[in-house]
Amino acid sequence: MKFTLYAHQNTELEHLKTNQYFALFAEQGTGKTLPMLQHILNLLKDGQITDALIICPKAVMDSWYRDMDKFSPIYKTLLQRKITVINYDLVWRRAVFMRPWGCVVLDESHFIKHRTSRRAKFILKLGTLAECRYILTGTPIGNSHWEEIWSQYNFLEPSIFGKYSEFEKRYCILNQFYKPYRYINTAELKEKIFAHA
């Protein structure tokens, strides 16, 4: 290994080690990719997974490859062989990705916040085929639209919030257009979110 993790990254890594599904909510530039790569490497070395898929915006794909370069040559090669990095715009258009994976990571997971989009539907189905599932983002919800967390957490583990209709009934007040505009039971909602983040 050619790098040293910061204290907050070691904390993130410790949480990843003990969870098959987990959310890392940290601002851009705080270094979420290195602990995630280290965790994937540990899973590969321990034989817990045989491959991993990282889905991210096209603009940050290179950062994953750059961070793989920071590992020692043998581990860099292992990561490059076992990890597939694909962007959100392509993944749902290519049926070849709809298969079981050892680990699936959503970088900038808010890209699936609209649960009815084709992208989100594809990725939510894909998540059911993955042994380990992780989401990374600095902006899990925008402008306090709490319903945006549902699809991200449904990817992590569907049992956390259940069906969207159950989530909406428990936490949302709808306007005349049947869209959430106010929220209830938010303390409980936050507690459930941070139990897995």
Give tens-digit pLDDT for 71-90.
Answer: 999 999 999 999 999 999 99
191 belongs to a structural domain: no
> How high is the pLDDT of residue 144?
83
Give tens-digit pLDDT for 96-125.
Answer: 999 999 999 999 999 999 999 999 999 999
179 belongs to a structural domain: no
38 belongs to a structural domain: yes
63 belongs to a structural domain: yes
Containing domain of residue 17, as a range? 7-164
CA dist list (Å): 38 to 30, 76, 176, 186: 15, 11, 48, 34
Where residue 142 falls among pLDDT bands split at 50, 70, 90?
confident
What is the 8-class DSSP label of residue 114?
Answer: S
188 belongs to a structural domain: no
Neighbours of 197 (CB within 10 A): 19
144 versus 189: which is more confidently predicted?
A: 189
196 belongs to a structural domain: no
135 belongs to a structural domain: yes
If one counts the domains in the chain, the total is: 1
148 belongs to a structural domain: yes
CA distance 31 to 35: 8
Q: Which amino acid is at 114?
A: H
Give backbone dihedrals phi and psi of 133, rounded to 5 degrees, phi first: -135, 130
> How high is the pLDDT of residue 2?
72
Give tens-digit pLDDT for 14-67.
Answer: 999 999 999 999 887 778 999 999 999 999 999 999 999 999 999 999 999 999
Where residue 5 falls among pLDDT bands split at 50, 70, 90?
confident
Where residue 1 falls among pLDDT bands split at 50, 70, 90?
low
Which CATH number does the domain housing residue 132 bear? 3.40.50.10810
CA distance 137 to 3: 22
